[in-house]
């Protein structure tokens, strides 16, 4: 493509330009936007192929994993990230939570007419940086434009594929009574960061989203004790409480948590109190929950703590036999309460 005549009337005016309906119509304006903004930033072999899809090799002897996630976070930019980096981390993590090594991403953009090209460029470049840092290239994509008032800035749906060896069997239905429940670090930062930005709240310390790609942490955990990790999940929407309830239901088990063991940053705790939120239900974008065989929990935990994204990893509870599949928690005050699913909306458009 690089040798072909481009024939655009003028370069994109990134500084002052805005998305118009023509950028989504599939003609010359769309081609120019894709080349000068998206392909320039993502710079992958797949995109340079310039076809309707990307073609690539995958290593033999593996099963394939595919995960997709729409990102509609509001506001688009928040402390610690933006919709671009989030859309990479969210999908890389969904693939990694199947025990897989993420290989490639596809990205579908739905952009509102009038959206400033400068902001789009910032988002796309953040996305490109997150993809490069994770080592997971964006190989194919699509861009649509909707009229002003029919969207909200930018929505990004990313789809990831990865490979998992046949020897790895990780899934939400694999937890067994007696298993250890591990958490990779403090909870609640992402949700509080987005909400405080949305509501223009100023806390003394800026709370940053924990948004991060967790696949190398997962790889370290799986290597530490092959076969030991049975369930992996990232507690995003609905928070830790909802994620643990999902696992309990899928596996047909209960759980008993230790409230005192669940780490929450003091500033997140304070912000949650102010906002009337329970950190257990607040979204995270750079944390994971693992259920693992009890005899290997110490080894897995040690591997987590040795990884930059697992420094505060802890054992937070145990899987129990429970025909009701309740997630229960011993409170700091010695009581015991049921930790239910999130009901209704606590934090809309958090990811």
Q: Name which of residues 300 to 319 contact a copy of itself (CB under 8 A).
A: none
The footprint of a copy of itself on residues 169-188 (CB under 8 A) is: 171-173
Peptide bond into 161 cis (omega under 30): no
Considering only 212-220, 248-256, 261-269, 295-303, which stretch makes contact with a copy of itself by CB under 8 A?
248-256
The smaller minimum CB distance to a copy of itself, of residues 96 and 257, is found at: 96
Q: Are strands 314-320 and 254-258 parallel, antiparallel or unpaired?
A: antiparallel
Q: Which stretch binds a copy of itself (CB under 8 A): 3-11, 210-218, 219-227, 261-269?
A: 3-11
Whichever of 1 and 260 has its CB closer to a copy of itself, that residue is 1
Alpha carbons within 13 angstroms on the beta-carbon side of residue 13 total 8
* 154: contact with a copy of itself by CB under 8 A: no
**Is the CB of 22 or the CB of 267 nearer to a copy of itself?**
22
Closer Cβ to a copy of itself, 66 or 306, answer by number: 66
Non-local CB neighbours of 299 within 8 Å, separated by 6+ positions: 224, 225, 228
- Of positions 10, 15, 324, 332, contacts a copy of itself by CB under 8 A: 324
Tell me the C-alpha distance between 323 and 183, whole Å: 24
Window contacting a copy of itself (CB under 8 A); options: 93-101, 122-130, 203-211, 217-225? 93-101
- The distance in angstroms from the start CA to the end CA of the chain is 35
Three-class DSSP category at 61: coil
Q: Does residue 122 touch a copy of itself according to CB under 8 A?
A: no
Residue with tokens 């996305």: 127
Which one, 173 or 306, has the nearer CB to a copy of itself? 173
Interaction between residue 343 and a copy of itself (CB under 8 A): yes
Could you give the CA distance from residue 347 to residue 86 in angstroms, rounded to a whole number? 16
C-beta of residue 183 within 8 angstroms of C-beta of residue 287 = yes
| Residue whose CB is less far from a copy of itself, 30 or 302 | 30
With CB under 8 A as the contact rule, the residue among 89, 215, 237, 307 that binds a copy of itself is 237
Q: What's phi and psi for 274, nearest 5 deg?
A: -60, -40
133 contacts a copy of itself (rule: CB under 8 A): no
Looking only at the bridges linking them, the beta strands covering 154-165 and 229-233 are unpaired
The CA distance from 257 to 262, in Å, is 9
Q: Is 236 in the site for a copy of itself (CB under 8 A)?
A: yes
Provide the minimum distance between the beta carbon of 299 and a copy of itself in the complex, in angstroms, as a whole number.
24
- Binding a copy of itself by CB under 8 A: which of 80, 84, 137, 141? 141
258 DSSP β-pair partners: 330
- Contact between residue 261 and residue 317 where contact means Cβ atoms under 8 Å apart: yes
What is the CA angle 130-135-136, rounded to 5?
A: 80
Q: Is 140 in the site for a copy of itself (CB under 8 A)?
A: yes
* Shortest Cβ 9–a copy of itself spacing (Å): 9
3-state secondary structure at position 289: strand
Question: Site for a copy of itself (CB under 8 A): how many residues?
Answer: 97
Smallest separation (angstroms) from a copy of itself to the CB of 208: 21
- Beta strands at 180-183 and 254-258: parallel, antiparallel or unpaired: unpaired
Residues in 4-23 that interact with a copy of itself by CB under 8 A: 4-5, 7, 20-22
From candidates 33, 41, 47, 67, binder to a copy of itself by CB under 8 A: 67
238 binds a copy of itself (CB under 8 A): yes
Give the containing element (helix H, strand E) for 31. helix 28-33
CB of 16 to a copy of itself, least distance (A): 19
């Amino acid at each position: 493509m690089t040798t072909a005549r481009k024939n655009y009337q003028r370069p994109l005016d990134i500084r002052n330009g805005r998305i118009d309906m023509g950028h989504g119509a599939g003609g010359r304006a769309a081609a120019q936007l894709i080349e000068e903004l998206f392909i320039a930033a993502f710079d992958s072999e797949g995109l340079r192929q310039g076809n309707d899809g990307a073609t690539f090799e995958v290593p033999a002897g593996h099963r394939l994993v595919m995960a997709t996630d729409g990102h509609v976070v509001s506001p688009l930019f928040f402390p610690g990230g933006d919709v671009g980096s989030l859309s990479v981390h969210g999908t890389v993590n969904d693939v990694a939570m199947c025990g897989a090594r993420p290989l490639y991403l596809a990205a579908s953009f739905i952009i509102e007419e009038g959206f400033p090209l400068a902001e789009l460029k910032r988002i796309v470049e953040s996305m490109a940086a997150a993809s490069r840092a994770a080592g997971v290239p964006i190989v194919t994509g699509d861009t649509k434009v909707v009229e002003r008032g029919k969207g909200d800035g930018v929505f990004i749906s990313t789809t990831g594929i990865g490979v998992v060896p046949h020897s790895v069997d990780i899934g939400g239905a694999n937890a067994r009574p007696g298993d250890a429940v591990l958490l990779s670090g403090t909870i609640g930062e992402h949700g509080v960061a987005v909400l405080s930005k949305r509501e223009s709240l100023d806390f003394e310390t800026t709370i940053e989203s924990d948004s991060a790609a967790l696949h190398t942490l997962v790889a370290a955990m799986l290597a530490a004790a092959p076969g030991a990790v049975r369930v992996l999940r990232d507690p995003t929407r609905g928070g830790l409480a909802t994620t643990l309830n999902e696992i309990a239901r899928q596996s047909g088990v209960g759980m008993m948590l230790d409230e005192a063991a669940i780490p929450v940053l003091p500033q997140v705790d304070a912000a949650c109190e102010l906002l009337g939120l329970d950190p257990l239900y607040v979204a995270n974008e750079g944390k994971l929950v693992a259920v693992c065989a009890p005899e290997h929990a110490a080894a897995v935990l040690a591997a987590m703590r040795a990884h930059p994204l697992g420094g505060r990893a802890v054992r937070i509870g145990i899987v129990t036999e429970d025909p009701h599949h309740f997630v229960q928690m011993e409170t700091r005050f010695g009581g015991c309460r049921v930790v239910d699913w999130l009901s209704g909306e606590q934090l809309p458009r958090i990811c």
